Structure 1
Amino acid sequence: MTPTRQRATRQGGAVREALRAAGGFRSAQDVYAALRSDGDTVGLSTVYRHLQNLVDEGVVDVIHTPDGEATYRFCGGADTRRHHHHLVCRDCGRTEEIAGPAIERWADAVAQQHGYVDVDHTVELFGRCPSCASAE
């Protein structure tokens, strides 16, 4: 199923820019709070809707933290639309985009072994970045 492009709105643009400015993965609540602190009157349900639209467009990645919360990160640059994974600091949220050729080969082999096609996957690594680890 091909995602349908949503019409551009002021609120959608504000959500996109707030997420782009945030840099790392942020929850919908974080994006909402940033918008509100900037004086934007966007509602929380609107933030969720626009985040999902951005995920559907392929410019935002969503991952679930170890405690299950959905978090979002703008990955819409031309070089980041390729398939990638993330290494995320569980303290500060710093994120590195990483390639995983061994993971890709393994996923393809497992799918082929079981006769599956059109397989997709996500792999997210969580740890502590050098700055947070040295701050102890």
Structure 2
Amino acid sequence: MTGTVISESIVVDAPPSVVFAILADPRQHARIDGSGTVQALLEGPERLSKGATFGVRMRIGAPYTIKNTVVEFDEDRRIAWRHFAGHRWRYELEPVGGGTRVTESFDYSRYNALAAKVIELAGFPAKNRQGIHETLPKLKAAAESDARG
């Protein structure tokens, strides 16, 4: 057994540039987080780029901090970051009829069988699917609001 990718999509009535602006600004991640785990940006640039790092105050039961590194970056198309454990949070944007299809993924496909099993036994795929399910509508609302000005 190896890891896999958990993902869902939503169509946003805003252009990719507006959606990407939210995702590339780590100060806005708490604004769109549906999991309830992202609390606040601790440190990082105002705008992410490939190789950029940013620290986030998190909470899953107890508070903690995590440092992320942007590992994929294609302006207005794709952004992904990872932390020490190696899994990636990825957002892919596709223009569709004046709006944007956004696909959010929790990708642990690079894990070996043992590490993937630990992630699965800890319940992270199901928890992260629920978080994605809650985040995408929040991202949609934020982007549509920003697009209206």
TM bucket (normalised to shorter chain) is under 0.3
Higher helix share: 1
TM-score between both structures, scaled by the size of structure 1: 0.28
Structure of greater relative contact order (alpha carbons < 8 Å, 6+ residues apart): 2
Rg larger in structure:
1
Higher strand share: 2
